[in-house]
Structure formats: structure tokens, C-alpha cells
């Protein structure tokens, strides 16, 4: 199945032959759990008044804030379009029609080769993308925490046999279901990591090693909020009370599973979008359709993107995220 393309991936990291993977009892259990995650999430969001839309797969531009990953160009009748790395711009646009929307959206990102061995990165994956008009970050954090609790309860109820077959300890989720998710500032997370002798930059996103390390320190998910300006793309809104601080967050799973979800309040005002694009080195001309909408008025909003395969890996207790997809695509490895 695999052909390594100048990649450092060890043989033990690879999904093996496609037939064996598709016929594996581990794959069957993981994908049934993933199906329950989708059903439980849809149930929760429907109860809270959300409308599910179908996401675009290509567009003239895509999410500019994807760290280290490259975008893929496609020819669209003589125009250079992009495969979606994230539908964040389209989520904001969709709020012109509905106040609460969500997608189960496919994403394609050419991740750096070194991510092939993290156990947490795929080139092709899916996100549960949620956006709410007029919401604050704190309201979105509460919504997301409720969604996680509801979905985990749903999976524990509906996927009991699959969790047992994977030897996943149900008691591992007791703190998640019982206790509030803690919230740490980026500054506090950096201090924690430095206390663990990890040299995390105070001006950058938590790096991949740091995510795993800080994740190992707790038994339930937690939020990191208030990333510094410059660490994320122009869509992350800046605090009006604390210039230089972004109104965003990451959700970190416990037990070493690392980051599962990112989100926050959005930049939405036309002039501010132009400023933020220039600050982050983006060419506003690339985003003409999006800026046209913003000029006429986009609603203030907040939302998140929750990695479906990463969430599945955590709930199923899998060693590698590729075990949570039928057709794994790892960085640097050519597969079906």
C-alpha cells in the first residue's frame, strides 16, 4: 500500500496493506465509534438550533492560518483554485443565511514530512465545523464543552461493545463527564511547559511536542486561550481590551492525545480584515469575494473546528490517528 517519498516515517508508523487495514477488527470498531460521534454531535447541535450545511471542497482561497502545511492548487476552468484546508471563510459567509450552522467538512493539507511520525497528523481529514452569529468566545467554550460531554456520553452508551473490544477503559472519561474543563492562558501554558523543561516560545503556538507534553499532565480536556497576535492567521479576532492578544482557543485532550479543536471569535469588519491580512503577510486581493461580503457587512461570530479523526482516536484509545480513517493518508506517503 505504501510508497515512501523521501519521508522519515518508520515502518511501525505506517497503516500497512489496505486490505488488512479495512478488514481489521480495530478499524471496524474505530469507524463505528466515529459514526456514533457524528450521530451524537448532530443530535446535540440539532437540539441547540443549528442547521447543517454541506461544505465547499474547492474555492479561490482557503484558510490562511494553517501552520506549516501547504495548500493544493486545482485548475478550475482556467482559474487557480484551492482544495479546502479549512472552511472558516465559508462558515462566516454562511451566517448571512443562518445564525447557527455546522459542517462535517473534509480538509486536505500537505503537512510537513516530520508530522508523519507524531501519530496525530493526516493529510486528508474531517472537521466538525461550527459557527454562531453574535457569539462570544466564552459562549462557544461552553457550547463546545457541552458538545464534548454529550457526545462522549452518547458513545459510551451506543458503542459499549466496540469500546470493550478495544479495551478502552470507560473510567478514563469520568473526570470529563464530572468536572469542568480548566482554562489556561497561553502565557500560563508556556510557563507550565518551561517548568517541564520544554523550551516553548512565548510568541508562538504551542508546538507539537509541547502539545503532547502538556496533554500528559491532566486526566480531562482543557482549554488554552489568549494566543499572542502573530501566532495565528487574520481570521482570529484580536481583543479590544488587551491589544496583542487574540480571542481564540485550543481544546487539548488529556493523556498525551494533544490538540483536538481550535476556535475563537472572528475578525469580521472590512477595514480590520484588511489590516490583519497585511499584518500576517496576506495579499487582500486574493480574498476579493470574501472582502466584498465583509464590505457589505458580515456578522460578528465565533466558532470552532473539531478534528473528527483526532476525537475518534481519543475516545477509542488508539495509538495513531490513521487508525481512525478507512483510507489513511500520512505526510509524504502515497496511498490510495
Domains, the chain, with CATH or none: 3-334 (3.30.930.10)
- pLDDT at position 14, please? 56
The closest of 78, 82, 95 to 56, measured between CA atoms, is 82
Report residues of the chain scoring pLDDT below 70. Answer: 1-16
Whether the CB-CB separation of 242 and 279 falls below 8 Å is answered with: no
- pLDDT at position 326, please? 96
Distance of alpha carbon 288 from its chain centroid, rounded?
A: 26
- pLDDT at position 57, please? 97
Strands, DSSP E only, in the chain?
3-4, 51-52, 58-59, 73-76, 79-83, 100-108, 124-133, 182-185, 222-225, 248-253, 258-265, 301-307, 333-334
- Structure letter (DSSP) for residue 243: T
| Polymer length of the chain | 336
Confidence (pTM): 0.94
- pLDDT at position 78, please? 97
Amino acid at each position: 500500500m505504501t510508497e515512501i517519498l523521501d519521508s522519515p516515517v518508520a515502518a511501525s508508523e505506517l497503516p500497512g496493506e489496505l486490505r488488512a487495514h479495512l478488514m481489521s477488527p480495530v478499524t471496524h470498531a474505530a469507524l463505528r465509534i466515529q459514526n456514533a460521534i457524528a450521530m451524537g454531535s448532530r443530535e446535540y447541535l440539532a437540539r441547540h438550533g443549528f442547521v447543517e450545511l454541506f461544505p465547499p471542497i474547492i474555492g479561490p482561497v482557503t484558510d490562511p492560518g494553517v501552520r506549516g502545511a501547504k495548500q493544493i492548487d486545482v485548475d478550475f476552468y482556467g482559474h487557480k483554485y484551492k482544495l479546502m484546508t479549512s472552511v472558516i471563510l465559508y462558515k462566516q459567509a454562511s451566517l448571512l443565511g443562518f445564525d447557527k450552522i455546522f459542517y462535517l467538512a473534509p480538509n486536505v493539507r500537505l503537512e510537513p514530512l516530520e508530522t508523519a511520525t507524531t501519530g496525530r497528523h493526516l493529510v486528508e481529514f474531517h472537521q466538525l465545523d461550527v459557527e454562531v452569529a453574535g457569539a462570544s468566545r466564552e459562549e462557544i467554550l461552553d457550547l463546545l464543552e457541552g458538545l464534548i460531554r454529550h457526545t462522549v456520553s452518547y458513545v459510551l452508551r451506543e458503542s459499549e461493545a466496540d469500546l470493550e473490544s478495544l479495551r478502552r477503559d470507560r473510567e478514563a472519561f469520568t473526570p470529563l463527564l464530572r468536572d469542568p474543563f480548566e482554562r489556561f492562558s497561553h502565557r500560563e501554558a508556556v510557563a507550565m511547559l518551561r517548568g517541564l523543561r520544554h523550551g516553548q516560545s512565548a510568541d508562538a503556538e504551542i508546538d507539537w511536542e509541547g502539545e503532547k507534553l502538556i496533554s500528559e499532565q491532566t486526566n480531562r480536556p482543557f482549554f488554552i486561550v489568549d494566543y499572542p497576535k502573530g501566532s495565528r492567521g487574520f481570521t482570529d479576532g484580536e481583543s479590544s481590551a488587551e491589544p496583542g492578544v487574540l480571542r481564540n482557543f485550543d481544546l487539548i485532550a488529556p493523556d498525551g492525545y494533544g490538540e483536538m479543536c481550535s476556535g475563537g471569535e472572528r475578525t469580521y469588519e472590512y477595514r480590520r480584515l484588511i489590516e490583519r491580512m497585511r499584518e500576517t503577510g496576506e495579499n487582500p486581493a486574493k480574498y476579493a469575494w470574501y472582502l466584498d461580503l465583509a464590505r457589505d457587512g458580515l456578522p460578528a461570530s465565533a466558532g470552532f473546528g473539531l478534528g473528527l479523526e483526532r476525537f475518534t482516536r481519543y475516545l477509542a484509545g488508539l495509538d495513531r490517528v490513521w487508525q481512525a480513517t478507512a483510507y489513511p493518508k500520512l505526510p509524504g506517503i502515497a496511498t490510495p
